[in-house]
Structures are given as C-alpha cells and as structure tokens.
C-alpha cells in the first residue's frame, strides 16, 4: 500500500507542478534598450501581467548582436516557463542577414503572443519643400540620391520599409541608420537629416516642437492618434503595409501548457483599459494574439521581409 501511494505521488507530481505555475518571478528578456517602444510595451504589459499571474514580472534589457544577446540568454535559461523573450522582426531578418545564423528561428523560438503593432511614419524636417506625400515622391524623382532619411537601426523594420518604399516607387534616397528612434528624432529636429522613417511614438517630440511634419503612415489603415495623416496605401502605394511590431517568444522546450497560459494572460493584459490607454498614447495598436495566430502572422511576414532584404542587398555590415 505504501509503494502504491508513493508511486501515485510521483505520477501526480508533473500535473501539480503545472497547476501551480507560476510560483515565482517571471522574467521578460527584452532585446531592445530601455526607453524605446518595445521596452515601453514590455513594461506596460508586464506590470499588468504581474497582477494577472499573481507573481512579479521583471524586465531585463539585453541588447546587442541584432537581438542575438537576448535570444541567447533566453535559450540558455531553464526551459521551465520562467524566462520569455520580447523580440521583433529580428526573428525574421536574422536568417537572411547573417552568414551563419546562431539559431533556427522557426524551430528554436516558439511564438507565445504578439504584444502590439507600431505603425511607422514618413516625416520630413520642417523646412523641407514637400507638403504632402505625393509632393515628396515627386521631389525624390526629380532629385535622385539627394534626400537623406534616417531609420532605427540598419536592417530593422523601418529600414526595410524605406527600401520597399523606394523599390516600388523607383526612387532613391540616402539611408542613415541610427541606434534607436530617439536618435533619429534628435537629428531631424536639428535638421541633420531630411526625413525619417520611425514609429509614431518616436516622431512625437520633433512634431510637437515644430521641427518635423508627418506626411504618411505605413499601416494599412489610418492611425487613431493621427486621423488626418493618410496612409501610403491610400495615396502612392496601394497595398503597402510595413509596421514595426513586437511580441513574446519562448525557447523550444518550454511546456505547451505554460505557453498557452502565458498567452492567455498576455491577451488579457492587452485588453486592459489602463494598458490600452498608455499604449495608445505611445502610438501602439494592441494585439494579444494566440500562439497559433502569432505563428501565422510570422509566416505571412517572413516571405515579404526576406524578399526586401534580397532585392535591396541589405547586409549587417
């Protein structure tokens, strides 16, 4: 009888362990610097996640190597559901950009939930002659290679969006990569670059200071916080949509049950009115998708992203 009781306890142990998750602090390893759009999303959603899960959620910024530093830290952590990665388009771009990618991104990282979309804008310095996106395109055609534009960073989604914009319209600008959106915003404020392609959140300061003007947004629909700004799709590039975004990934080996529970908690946090209020102000569109929905989104993005990289000859060097 004692042996049967012990055996029953051993067999029940995994189920008990799964039932009590999380029983301690959950860590979100963020592949981006503190203060940026991805960090803001992670901290805002993470705070609400802590309330939902009943445990602390800590943010750990691990930048460098095109997100490889953060990805490596996530892969090296125990696969027990207490370490997750907050990443973005690096999950799609690192494979075509790197000669020897450190990971098989389809296999090694499991989609948990997309936090949000970050629509991007094309903005010009205040004294730039073009007043509309149509006039901007006409100016580019009349002055090939004479207009500079900044994005954060090289080979990021903004860079890809700029290359696709040029490729489809047959125009050419001079690209200036920056470490982050704040750096690009600083230089358009100073008039060092003619234009920027950055998120709605990053462009706010130079616009409010009267140093920049927004000509168009890269999203398929107009942005609620910028209702008077047209989309590229409705003006000069039908079908164009190239937002920045971020989301949560788990390392391969984390139990599926924990991934599903984490995804459900993220979705609940993304629906929270206080989270939406703060992220709306940051220009984000909250998502909170399921693992299957996030995986489908990644697959839809993968082909077009790789095509832009190949067609534009973008490299990390």
Which domain CATH number covers 199? 3.40.190.10
Residue 4 covered by a domain: no
Which residue carries 């009590």 as its tokens? 20
Judged by DSSP in three states, 102 sits in: coil
260 and 292 inside one domain = yes
Instruction: Check whether residue 254 and residue 301 sit in a common domain.
Output: yes
Tokens of 47: 């705070």
Strands of 3-71 (E only): list them.
26-30, 57-61
127 and 184 inside one domain: yes
Inter-residue contact 272 to 48 (CB < 8 Å): yes
Does residue 17 fall inside a structural domain? no
Structural domain includes residue 140: yes
pLDDT at 16: 41
Length of the chain: 317
User: Angle CA(270)–CA(271)–CA(273) in degrees, nearest 5?
Assistant: 105
Q: Copy the structure tokens of residue 52.
A: 């939902």
**Residue 3 covered by a domain:** no
Domain boundary residue among 181, 215, 235? 235
Q: Are residues 222 and 257 in the same domain?
A: no
Last residue of a domain, one of 203, 235, 267: 235
Contact 27, 54 (CB under 8 A): no
- Residue 142 in any domain: the answer is yes
> Average pLDDT for residues 47-60, to the nearest whole number?
97
Q: Where do runs of H (alpha helix) occur along 24-81?
A: 37-53, 68-76
Q: From the CB of residue 30, how many other CB atoms can be counted at a distance below 10 Å?
A: 26
Whole-number pLDDT of residue 13: 46
Task: Judge if 163 and 70 occupy the same domain.
Answer: no
Task: Identify the CA nearest to 183 among candidates 193, 173, 171.
Answer: 193
Please check whether residue 270 is in contact with residue 52, taking contact to mean a CB–CB distance below 8 angstroms.
no
d(CA 78, CA 82): 8
* 230 plus 140 within the same structural domain: yes
Strand partners, 109: 251
Q: Among residues 188, 212, 197, which one has the least CA distance to residue 158?
A: 197
The residues that bridge with 28 in the sheet, in sequence order, are 59, 84
Q: What is the pLDDT of residue 2?
A: 43
The answer to whether residue 47 sits within a structural domain is yes
Q: Which domain holds residue 305?
A: 25-117+243-312
DSSP E strand boundaries for 71-191:
83-87, 109-118, 120-125, 148-151, 174-177
At 154, is the pLDDT very low, low, confident or very high (cuts 50, 70, 90)?
A: confident
Last residue of a domain, one of 195, 219, 235: 235
This prediction has a pTM of 0.85
Cα 36 to Cα 180, 200, 282: the distances in Å are 7, 12, 10
Domain identity same for 160 and 190: yes
Same domain, 290 and 145: no
The pLDDT confidence band at residue 60, using thresholds 50, 70 and 90, is very high
Which among 215, 216, 220 has a CA at the least distance from the CA of 241?
220
Same domain, 87 and 139: no
Question: What's the whole-number mean pLDDT along residues 295-301?
Answer: 95
Q: What is the mean pLDDT of residues 211-239?
A: 96
217 is a domain residue = yes
CATH label of the domain that carries residue 32: 3.40.190.150
* Helix extents (H) in 170-272: 181-189, 200-208, 232-235, 256-271
Q: Are residues 247 and 113 in the same domain?
A: yes
CB neighbour list of residue 192: distance below 8 Å, 6 or more residues apart: none
Q: What average pLDDT score do residues 306-313 get? A: 92
Query: In this predicted model, what pLDDT tens digit does every residue of 230-259 receive, in sequence order?
Result: 999 999 999 999 999 999 999 999 999 999
| Same domain membership, residue 253 and residue 218 | no
The percent of residues in the chain predicted with pLDDT above 90, rounded, is 80
**Digit-coded pLDDT (tens) for 73-128:** 999 999 999 999 999 999 999 999 998 999 999 999 999 999 999 999 999 999 99
Q: 258 and 213, same structural domain? A: no
pLDDT at residue 15 in the model: 46
Q: Angle formed by the axes of helices 273-281 and 37-53, to 10°?
A: 170
Among 30, 63, 62, 24, residue whose Cα is nearest residue 45: 30
In a domain, 186, yes or no: yes
**Are the beta carbons of 198 and 123 closer than 8 angstroms?**
yes
Q: In total, how many domains does the chain have?
A: 2
């Amino acid at each position: 009888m004692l042996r049967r009781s012990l055996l029953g306890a051993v067999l029940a142990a995994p189920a008990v362990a799964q039932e009590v998750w999380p029983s301690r602090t959950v860590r979100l390893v963020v592949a981006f610097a503190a203060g940026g759009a991805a960090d803001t999303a992670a901290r805002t959603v993470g705070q609400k996640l802590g309330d939902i899960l009943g445990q602390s959620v800590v943010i750990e910024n691990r930048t460098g190597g095109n997100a490889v530093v953060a990805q490596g830290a996530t892969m090296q952590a125990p696969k027990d559901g207490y370490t997750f990665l907050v990443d973005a388009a690096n999950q799609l771009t690192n494979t075509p950009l790197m000669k020897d990618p450190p990971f098989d991104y389809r296999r090694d990282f499991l989609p948990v939930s997309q936090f949000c979309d970050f629509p991007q804008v094309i903005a010009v310095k205040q004294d730039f002659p073009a007043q509309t996106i149509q006039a901007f395109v006409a100016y580019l055609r009349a002055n090939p290679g004479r207009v500079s534009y900044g994005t954060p960073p090289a080979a990021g989604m903004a860079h890809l969006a700029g290359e696709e914009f040029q490729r489809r319209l047959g125009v050419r600008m001079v690209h200036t990569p920056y470490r982050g959106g704040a750096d690009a915003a600083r230089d358009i404020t100073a008039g060092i670059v003619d234009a920027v392609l950055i998120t709605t959140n990053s462009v706010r300061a130079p616009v409010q200071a009267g140093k920049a003007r927004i000509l168009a947004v890269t999203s398929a629909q107009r942005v609620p916080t910028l209702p008077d700004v047209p989309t590229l799709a409705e003006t000069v590039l039908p079908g164009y949509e190239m937002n920045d975004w971020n989301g949560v990934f788990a390392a391969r080996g984390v139990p599926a049950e924990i991934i599903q529970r984490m995804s459900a908690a993220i979705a609940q946090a993304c629906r929270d009115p206080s989270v939406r209020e703060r992220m709306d102000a940051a220009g984000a569109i909250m998502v909170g998708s399921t693992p299957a929905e996030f995986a489908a989104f990644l697959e839809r993005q993968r082909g077009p992203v790789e095509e832009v990289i190949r067609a534009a000859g973008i490299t990390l060097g």
